A = this chain, B = another copy of it.
């Protein structure tokens, strides 16, 4: 986020500062989903949040500041990767979550992606959020190795996760295909078959 505010606001958790941030970020999400980032203005956010616009300017400075904070807030939720008992189940559940977020009408996730093409600040924040999420998901692969579902400890978890999830972004966001209810499981299963055949095996000196 931007510089700390000049006037020493109330920073108690759940206090006025936190409440205003929640109101403003809710408004950003709603405005983004409705009008995309091109429709996002400081005035529109302030009006929807019911917060004085000088407060919004002072704390977030500009639209880029709002985008960065809304992405940061997404990273603060205690999101947990799925734990279904099998890697196929986990990756399918993950893909279902992705498909849902990308096909929601309107989609906050797609609006953020669009914004990241135009705001360097937003792009950096989004890249960090995704890196964190993929890192959190590596436990899916660790658990699968422990259960004996994958051939070796030398599986590049990140490559496997990207192989499983990338086709959803590609089909739904870039190719704008209609959502296919079978895609989450099919894409997960294809990545697993590739992993089983050694596609993501790294030689020991390459890992870690």
Instruction: List chain A positions with a Cβ less than 8 A from chain B.
Output: 36, 38, 110, 113-114, 117-118, 123, 127, 130-131, 159, 162-163, 165-167, 169-171, 174-176, 186-187, 189-191, 193-194, 196-200
Contact = CB atoms under 8 A, between A and B. Distances in A.
Contacts of A162: 167, 170-171, 175
Given A170-B170, A193-B194, A175 B113 contact: no
Contact of A199 (B169, B175, B190): B190
A127 B200 contact: no
A46 B36 CA distance: 29
B163 A169 contact: no
Contacts of A197: 193-194, 196-197
> Nearest 7 A-B pairs (CB), nearest first?
A114-B117, A190-B199, A166-B170, A193-B197, A166-B166, A194-B194, A190-B194
Contacts of A191: 190, 194
Number of copies: 2
A181 B167 CA distance: 21
B175 A127 contact: yes
Given A36-B118, A198-B193, A174 B163 contact: no
B36 A174 contact: no
A119 to B, nearest CB: 11
Contact of A118 (B114, B159, B190): B114
Contacts of A110: 117
B38 A130 contact: no
17 contacts: A110-B117, A113-B174, A114-B117, A117-B117, A123-B176, A127-B176, A162-B170, A163-B163, A163-B167, A166-B166, A169-B170, A169-B174, A186-B199, A189-B199, A190-B200, A193-B197, A194-B194
